[in-house]
Structure 1
Amino acid sequence: MTDDKALRLRLAEELSAGGFLRTLPWRAAVEEVPRHEFLRGGFFEPSDTPGPTAWRPVMPDTAGWLERCYTDHSLVTQIAGTIVPRDVRGEILRAPTSSSTMPGLVVRMLEDLQVEDGHRVLEVGTGTGYSTALMCHRLGDGSVTSVEVDGEVSGAAGVALAACGYSPRLVVGDGLAGHKDAAPYDRLVVTCGVLDVPAAWVAQTRPGGIILATLCGWLYSSELARLIVGRDGTARGRFLGGQISFMLARPQQPPPLGVLPDLDRGEERTAALGPDVLDDWNTRFVAQLAVPRAQRVSLTRQGRTEHLLIDVAVGAWALLYEDRGAWIVRQGGLDRLWDAVEAYVTRWRGDGSPPLEQFEISVTAAGQTVTWASH
């Protein structure tokens, strides 16, 4: 038995024991698909130096590379949209833009997709191609279409897939538009975060088909949603739980903050809720429903820490700071962001703070809505 085969078997056992891998066809795929082939270009690891996160490359000739390819961890494969491990000597202080998702999450999503033999699947976000290969093993090459916005990432995935004997349909383009040429699909799975489920995904999924996507916002609380497409061209479903997190789709990244408004001018009052409510994942998700395009920034001014929510598009902001044991909010612009947050969170708490798995998502011609049922 080769070293990587033993590692694949060990990974499959670990994922099964963790409850992520639940059926024999997907276990067979994990046991056969060599994840390390999709990481031949290396990956980045965070350095242990203090301060902002710096990244350093781990290449195939680095000790322990092969074993780390078979751990249940996400491995960053691209920085700042263009930089790959071979480009770096030392460390780099930029944000990750592509990764090989942790295998436990990959197979959990594939299990949640509820595929059956003969199903045709659209994957949005090819990434390294590892999840694409698992689907090819399970369903056959002709049943898998994968869209990737980054041509170089797609090209590297294609090379790795070919090396493993797989040849799905790979498309370079905006995954938010799907890929209508191969539609309709029985299943659509998304490996990036999105603010809203695009109408194109619903239109390209057959009635009764499933869309599996992670809904996020610029406050960065996100949840995995499973939606069933209806004959009326709508899609409805629920969140599956687990605090799933992906990098946002590139076209939906938040805009630059630019020059901040004059934060010393605005309407001021005592806040009913402090910014610490946003530290809780579920509460932050509810707040995000109220202000889906707001970004959160911490500032140090006048010797105190201030917490800023700002929606660049509508020019609205809310600044919170603590004064003599009470939270004060100052708001400006067209909308009152913190008023909206307080209203949503207070109503949710009044309804018994239902877990996110009890929320309902609907996508219609009028757009996307997320609601919860009160107790």
Structure 2
Amino acid sequence: METVILAVIIALVAFVAVGGGLVVGSRRKKRLPPAPPAAPTVTEPPAEPHIGDEAEVPRDEPRRTIEEVELPEALPRTPPEALELPEAPELEIPEPTEGRLVRLRSRLSRSQNTLGKGLLSLLSREHLDEETWEEIEDILLTADVGVTPTQELVERLRQRVKVLGTRTPADLRQLLREELIALIGTDSDRTLHTESHEERPAVVLVVGVNGTGKTTTTGKLARVLVADGRSVVLGAADTFRAAAADQLQTWGERVGARTVRGPEGGDPASVAFDAVKEGISEGADVVLIDTAGRLHTKTGLMDELGKVKRVIEKHGPVDEVLLVLDATTGQNGLVQARVFAEVVDITGIVLTKLDGTAKGGIVVAVQRELGVPVKLVGLGEGADDLAPFEPGAFVDALIGD
């Protein structure tokens, strides 16, 4: 019986072993899914060298100790007192203003030919008929004397020529000289009010439209004052034109005048205020304020000019307000003059570009328009070509000898 049971157990074990092998075999025979395609071979970049790696095979070279290394020789040290400092620019000595207009009379040659000599030629005719007097009127109008002053002058010339009778060239010249001087006027105060006060300098405000030569005139005026023995401080209140402050500073440096300036596009009134303040602290005689060249059609800008004047007056009254006019603009300059006179109280006129122009009569017209005298005239591009206006010398330059 035991033998039979043992045989059965052995048979079961054998059967299980055979069945397990069949299962394993069947699993092994099952087909697996195809492997994905191999990725392309990528060549990796060479590894970057790290600290400590040798860039190349070291070469056999003799090595020196620190004691064997030769140091370069030290350069000799120059003592500070031996250093060459840049030389300060040599100050220029402006020409004296007395008699300057007489020295510059040749600059009025074209005005002389047109106005003075033209009038003398017509007045020298044997018979002065209506056509001749009309020609005289045309010459005066072409020279920008103005309609009303022209009519007054012609009427007075008619009367005096009739009384004079015989007319020699010398008589005619004297006659014309007297009448032109009377037309320009000799009663006006043409002096520049630049006398310093007890606690502050005199203040001169220079105004005018673009292109009249205002900044240049301010610089030349500084030379006029220095030539007369005054110390000057310049205020570059034209902050809207990039080169204006540089230009004014260059003019000042040539005669030793300090320039106060502000940032480009800054507040002009602030610069003007600081310039007067600097003039007070330095004890200067005169402060010249160059303002922006404002178009007379820009109401806001003109109002700002009034603000500049009001801010300056916190230090004290402005002594002079000079309006710079271009003589070549003729009657158009009178429109500018009227607008400026409404904003600030003009005390004097500077006529520039009067050299080589046939517009000498603008002196009469602008004075009549504003009731303000011409105080300075510009007769050229030279540094000392700005001259105090003298009616007698001006008329002599117009009509010649």
* Structure 2 length-normalised TM: 0.27
Structure richer in helix, relative to its length: 2
Higher relative contact order, structure no. (Cα contacts within 8 Å, ≥ 6 residues apart): 2
Structure richer in strand, relative to its length: 1
Choose 1 or 2 for highest CA Rg. Answer: 2
* Structure 1 length-normalised TM: 0.29
